[in-house]
Structure 1
Amino acid sequence: MKKKRISITDIANELSVTPSTVSRALNGGGKVSEKKRQEILSLAKKLGYRPNPIAKSLLENKTHTIGLIIPEFTHHFYSRMLAGIESVTSKAGYQLLICTSNEKQKQEIKSTQTLLDARVDGILATISKMNDKFQHLQEVMDSGTPLVLVDRFSEEIETPYVISDDFNGAFSAVDYLCQSGCKNILHIKGPANLSTTFNRFMGYKEALRKHEIEVKEELILESSDANLVEKIRFCLKNQQVDGAFAYSDYLAFEIYRAASDLKIPIPGSLSVIGYADEPLATYINPTLSTVNQQPFEMGATGANYLLNKINNPDIGLEIRSLETKLVIRDSCTKRAAKECQFS
């Protein structure tokens, strides 16, 4: 049988005092003698009294909960970002309510409604890659609930956000390939409507421009293409590709597979750089060069921004672009090693 929860009334009846006296004693209020206060606190501890969180939240107009919407848990990037968020929120006395969108707009919209119904004090969110409408995020802000975007952002939403410097992250990767002597550099883009895809593609093009290398459309592939693997094979076989930069480490792995099928040695004939520094990068052979986005720091910074917004709603728009780190491993020749961080 379910054990009855001890209430303030139970303590009051046991000590023959009023519930309001017990409430003041438990919450540090006045008009209670120190002797009576200690007596009440002692009995509350003995009986295992725990405050009713719902009643407390109604009284304070706060739930001490923060909503988090992320695309998924499986990627190391999001698990590290979550760890960064929790390192801040737990110290501040907040609990996390976590929802996943599975990169679907409908699920993201449902998640925002669920979190608003739960009366969270604020929401951290990473926009799903299938998102092309942002009314639900505007509704969060219109409700008075603070919102901070992390990793991805939309210019349509004026709210604090924390992202990585994807332009310079991509630029440093492709610049390294160019300095290593690569002339025909394949690029696999990310999902079409994401800010991260655009910024990494711009970084790719700017690095080529710096080295006066022509941007060739036939060397730019869309990750959403159903025939992506076949197109990678075609490029490697027919376009004299000597370097490759992928939107993610997982897409870089597809380049590895195609190169293996064609007996193209990495890095002997092909240098490859991915993005995000997932554990995969150190598991495959040769180990994958990549760009680290500092996801833990991203999560912690986003959480701090949200807490600032919760505690001071009138605070200005906070925007942070975190520096990325190029990590060179065995998938690249190391001619420019002095300029890079090694792992």
Structure 2
Amino acid sequence: MKKKRVSITDIAKALNVTPSTVSRALNNGGKVSEKKKQQILALAKELGYRPNPIARSLVENKTQTIGLIIPEFTHHFYSRVLAGIESVTSKAGYQLLICTSNEKKKQEIKSFQTLLDARVDGILATICKKNDEFDHLQEVLDSGTPLVLMDRICEEIETSYVISDDFVGAFQAVDFLIQTGCTQIIHIKGPKVLSTSFNRFMGYKEALKKHLIAFNEDLVFEGNDPELAEKISACLKSNAVDGIFAYSDYLAFEAFKVLKNEGISIPDQVSIVGYADEPISSYVTPQLSSVNQKPFEMGAIAAGLLLNQIQDPETPLEFKSLKTELVLRASTKTFKEIPV
């Protein structure tokens, strides 16, 4: 049989005092003698009293919980974002309620509603890639619940953002490929609706422009194309491709497989750079050069912004863009390896 939870009323009856007296003693309030306070605290400890968080949240209009919505757990990127968030929220005494959208719009909408129903004090979220309507995000703001978006931008929603500088990250990656001798560089794009896809594509084009290399749309492919491998293979046969820049490390791995099947040496014939610096970048052979987005820092900064808004609703909205880092490994040539 389930043991009955000890309440303030139980303690009050045992000591012949009012429940309000017990409440003041437990919460270090005034108008309770030190002797009576110690009696109440001692009995509460003896009976195993624990505060009711739901009752307290109704009184204080705070639940000490923060909602988090991310597309998935399987990507190392999001697990590092989560670690960054927890490093801040746990110290501040907040618990996380975590939902995943699995990159599906309906599931994302349901997750937001679930968190609002749970009366969370604020929400951190990365919008899914299959989202083109954002009424559910506006509903969060209209409810007065603080919201901070991470990694992906939604121009329709006026709130705080923490992102990585994808334009500069992509520019630096492609600029490096060009400086190490590449001139015909394939770009494998990300999902069309995402700001990250657009910014990385623009960074790719800007690097070509800097070096006076004409943009060739025949070298650009959609990452979600089911015939991606076949199209890359055909491109390699009809163009003097010597470099590949992919939207993600996973798309770079797809290019890896095509090059291996075609007997093309990496990086002697074709250099490859991915994005996000996932663990897979160290597992493939040769190891993959990639762009690190600083996900731990992203999560920690986003959590800090949200806590500031929870504590002071008048806190100005902020837009934080984190510097990326190009991590060089064996899938790209070094400057010393450039043919003279």
Tell me, which stretches of 5 or more residues in structure 2 are unaligned? none
- Deviation of 1:336 after TM superposition, in Å, equals 7.6
> Partners of 1:44 and 1:97 in 2: how far apart?
29
Partner of 1:82: 82
- Deviation of 1:262 after TM superposition, in Å, equals 0.2
Mapped pair 1:60 → 2:60: yes
Over the matched positions of the two proteins, sequence identity in percent amounts to 71
- Deviation of 1:50 after TM superposition, in Å, equals 0.5
Partner of 1:32: 32
> Partners of 1:293 and 1:44 in 2: how far apart?
49
Measured against aligned partners, the alpha-carbon deviations of 1:286-329 in whole angstroms (never above 9, x if no partner) come to 00000000000000000001011111111112110000000000
> Partners of 1:24 and 1:293 in 2: how far apart?
48
Partner of 1:341: none
What is the number of residues matched between the two proteins? 337
- Deviation of 1:241 after TM superposition, in Å, equals 0.7
Mapped pair 1:15 → 2:15: yes
Partner of 1:6: 6
Partner of 1:71: 71
- Structure-1-length-normalised TM-score: 0.97
- Deviation of 1:238 after TM superposition, in Å, equals 2.0
SS of 1:153's equivalent in the other structure is coil
Partner of 1:315: 315
Tell me, which stretches of 5 or more residues in structure 1 are unaligned? 338-343
Amino acid at match of 2:51: P
Amino acid at match of 2:52: N
> Partners of 1:202 and 1:208 in 2: how far apart?
10
Partner of 2:171: 171
> Partners of 1:317 and 1:53 in 2: how far apart?
30
> Partners of 2:71 and 2:236 in 1: how far apart?
32
Mapped pair 1:202 → 2:202: yes
> Partners of 1:316 and 1:34 in 2: how far apart?
43
- Deviation of 1:139 after TM superposition, in Å, equals 0.6
Amino acid at match of 2:26: L
Matches within 5 A, 1:70-149: 70-149=70-149
Amino acid at match of 1:146: P
> Partners of 1:306 and 1:327 in 2: how far apart?
30
> Partners of 2:236 and 2:102 in 1: how far apart?
32
List structure 1 segments (4+ residues) > 4 angstroms apart after TM superposition. Answer: none
Measured against aligned partners, the alpha-carbon deviations of 1:6-49 in whole angstroms (never above 9, x if no partner) come to 10111112222221111110011111110110111111111111
SS of 2:4's equivalent in the other structure is coil
